[in-house]
Amino acid sequence: MCDYVKFVRVSILNNAIEAQLISSILMEQDIPHQIRSYHDTAYDGLFQVQMGWGEIRSPAEFERDILEIIDAIRSDLKTG
């Protein structure tokens, strides 16, 4: 039996601060995840302008939990 777990893209992240905040919350809750930046030094961040700062990936079974956390963070930022 293989212990391989497939990670799927859950959401696009807006910036590095949002990525760090979400990652710290997910680590506290023991939710497996990966943060991937779209920055490419060869193109000096051109892809981040077009595609967003980066993405968060996780096993599919955690997608709903992560999206709820992201929505809560983004709504808190809007209401200030």
Is residue 1 domain-resident?
no
Is residue 26 domain-resident?
yes
Rounded to 5°, the CA angle 66-57-34 comes to 105
Is residue 2 domain-resident?
no
What does the pLDDT look like over 6-57, one tens digit per residue? Answer: 999 999 999 999 999 999 999 999 999 999 998 776 666 666 666 788 999 9
Q: What is the pLDDT of residue 79?
A: 78
Measure the CA–CA gap between 32 and 48, rounded to whole angstroms.
24
Handedness of CA 15, 16, 21, 26 (dihedral sign): positive
Joined together, the tokens standing for residue 29 give: 């809750």
Is residue 61 domain-resident?
yes
Is residue 30 domain-resident?
yes
Domain hosting 37: range is 7-79
Based on the structure, what is the number of domains in the chain?
1
Q: What is the pLDDT of residue 57?
A: 98
- Domain harbouring 43, CATH code: 3.30.70
